Structure 1
């Protein structure tokens, strides 16, 4: 569970809600027609921009990627691939047949090696898989950025609708204040959806995509080294470029131990 994403969303929402109810009732900020305009309009614009299948898959990927911390750390992958390298040097590629890992991409790489495919085929298959994963992340990020762009604009349209309705009742000054408040609520709803939900999730998807791509390239590099029968120590030294200097120092200490 990526607790920081959940904490950030809840904290941001609670801060806004507490500011709303500080001096007035929460019902003051509830306007169902305005909310319907923003939600319905944003959803309609999103469907115009993207295919329905892309929208659904993007929401599924966002829930999986942003609220779960499923990616292995580079240091953990380097340790595991070094272990794989030692197994291959002792038992050959078939020695990996019973090795299981939690990383799906690494497991696919192991299966390809065990099946006896040539190194070029294994590398091409893994690169293709990495490219497809990157495209899925890119589509999900575009969907949420599109929502972040559309929601404030639809909120402004709702405000204009409310202002037009308000101008029709100018002969009754007592209705101007409440009508103006209702008109502005649609802008509030649009900004809330964009700034506290859609755009932060788009940024988190971009971050997860970068982490995933780095891990996959690390795995591809390690599998190429394993299939060439390189020394695990040399392989670890090559893969250390994927981690920070502090993590690299820990790897060196573990190798010496």
Structure 2
């Protein structure tokens, strides 16, 4: 579980609620059902109009992953590829077909390597998978980016509706103040949804995508390095470039 995501969103909401309570003991003045309907309903409607339903559902499933799964660690995949290098060096590339991998991408790479496929074919095939993943993840990220744009826009729309209703009551000065407060609430709702929820989730998904792509590239380059030269140190030097120098773990020359 990624606790930093929980800490981020909970602390953000807690600070906002604390500021509201500090300035006013009556939190009910910040609740306006029609405004919530305009902002949330309008944002969802515009998102469904922009994207296919399956892409929208995929985005919400991906958002759940942000909170429920730990991020991938490139160091672990490098260690896995080095272990497979030892297997290939001791038993030959054919032995890789007997290795069971949790990652379908890694399993596919091992199967192609054990079949002695051409290196260029393996590189292009695995790169096509990586490019396909990039496009799928881009759409998922774009869903939340667009929601982050739509929410403030519908908040402003709700404010304009409230201002029109307020101006229609100019003959009643006592009603202007409360009407103005209600009108501004929709802008408040839109800003909260955009800055605390939608945009941070989009950013988190982008960061997860970068890590996942890095992991797949480690698999791709590690597989090709094993086929070209199953020298343990050579494979390590090839893959270690994916992590910062100060995070690289020293390795021995064991086979």
Secondary structure class of the residue paired with 1:255:
coil
Pair 1:255 & 2:252 matched: yes
* Local SS of the residue matching 2:252: helix
Counterpart mapping for 1:1-257 below 5 A: 1-22=1-22, 23-65=24-66, 67-71=68-72, 73-114=73-114, 117-248=117-248, 250-251=249-250, 254-255=251-252
Q: Is the 8 A contact 1:85 1:229 kept in 2?
A: no
User: Could you tell me whether the CA contact under 8 Å between 1:85 and 1:230 is conserved in 2?
Assistant: yes
**Structure-1 separation of matches of 2:77 and 2:175:** 65
Give the C-alpha shift of residue 256 in structure 1.
5.9
Conserved? CA contact 1:66–1:201, under 8 Å: no
State the 1:66 CA deviation: 5.5
* Contact 2:155 2:188 (8 Å CA) reproduced: yes
The separation in 2 between residues aligned to 1:70 and 1:155, in whole angstroms, is 33
Query: Cα deviations across residues 52-94 of structure 1 (Å, max 9, x unaligned)?
Result: 22111122122224542242x2222122111111111111223
What is the Cα-based RMSD across aligned positions, in Å? 1.8
Q: 2: CA distance between counterparts of 1:103 and 1:125?
A: 16
Alpha carbons of 1:111 and 1:27: their partners in 2 closer, same or farther (altered >3 Å)?
farther
Question: 1:152 Cα deviation (Å)?
Answer: 0.5
Q: Which moved more, 1:112-121 or 1:233-242?
A: 112-121
What is the alpha-carbon distance in structure 1 between the residues aligned to residue 230 and residue 253 of structure 2?
Answer: 18
TM-score in terms of structure 2 length: 0.92
Separation of aligned partners in 2, 1:100 and 1:109: 12
Cα deviation digits, residues 6-26 of structure 1 (max 9, x gap): 110111111111222222222
CA distance in 2, matches of 1:159, 1:205: 31
Q: Which moved more, 1:197-206 or 1:122-131?
A: 122-131
CA distance in 2 between counterparts of 1:152 and 1:92 reads: 59
Contact 1:119 1:224 in 2 (8 A): yes
Mapped contact 1:37–1:154 kept (Cα < 8 A): yes
Cα separation, 1, equivalents of 2:21 and 2:139: 37
Contact 1:93 1:113 in 2 (8 A): yes
d(CA) in 2 for partners of 1:103 and 1:20? 47
**Equivalents in 2 of 1:67, 1:190: separation in Å?**
26
- Matches of 1:202 and 1:33 in 2, distance apart? 27
SS in 1 for 2:60: helix
1:97 alignment partner, SS class? helix
The alpha-carbon deviation at position 170 of structure 1 amounts to: 1.6
Across the two proteins, how many residue pairs are aligned to each other? 253
